Amino acid sequence: MHTDTGRLRPGDQLYTVRELAVGLGVNFNTVARAYRLLGASGLVSTRQGRGTFVLHGAATGRARRATLRLLASSYVDEARRLGVTEAQIAGMVARQLRRQSASTRTGENHE
C-alpha cells in the first residue's frame, strides 16, 4: 500500500479474509465473496497459502470503479441481511468517512 495515499498498488498484498471481516465488522462469507468477485474481475489474484495480491493493471479508473461497486454491493447486502435500514447504512458510511478523514489529519494509520 502506498503510505502517502493509502492506495493499493499492483503487487500489494490484501488483508486476509478473516482480518478484513473482523476489521470491518462484517460476515466472513461477505468478504470471501468480495474477494472471489475481485478475482473473477481480474483485479486480484489469490495464491493458496500465500495470500491475495493486486494484479498489474488493476489501478485503472474502470477497475477502481468496478472494485468500489463490488465492495459497496457486498457491504449493502450484508447490512440489509442484518436488518439495517438505508438511512442507517448511509449514516454509518458518513461516520466512517469522517473518522478516517479526522485520523488522516491527525496522522493516525489504519493498517
For residues 65 and 15, which has the higher predicted lDDT (pLDDT)? 15
DSSP per position, 80-93: HHTT--HHHHHHHH
Q: Is the pLDDT of residue 18 over 90?
A: yes
- Using alpha carbons only, how large is the chain's radius of gyration in Å? 15
Q: Is the pLDDT of residue 110 over 70?
A: no
Interior angle at CA 74, CA 70 and CA 75, nearest 5: 115
Q: What digits encode the pLDDT tens for the residues 34-93?
A: 898 888 888 889 888 899 999 876 556 776 777 788 888 888 998 999 999 999 999 999
- In the DSSP assignment, the letter for residue 45 is E
Q: Is the pLDDT of residue 94 over 80?
A: yes
Average confidence (pLDDT) over 23-42: 88
Q: Which pLDDT belongs to residue 3?
A: 54
Its pTM stands at: 0.53
Yes or no: domain 17-106 corresponds to CATH 1.10.10: yes
Q: Is the pLDDT of residue 99 over 70?
A: yes
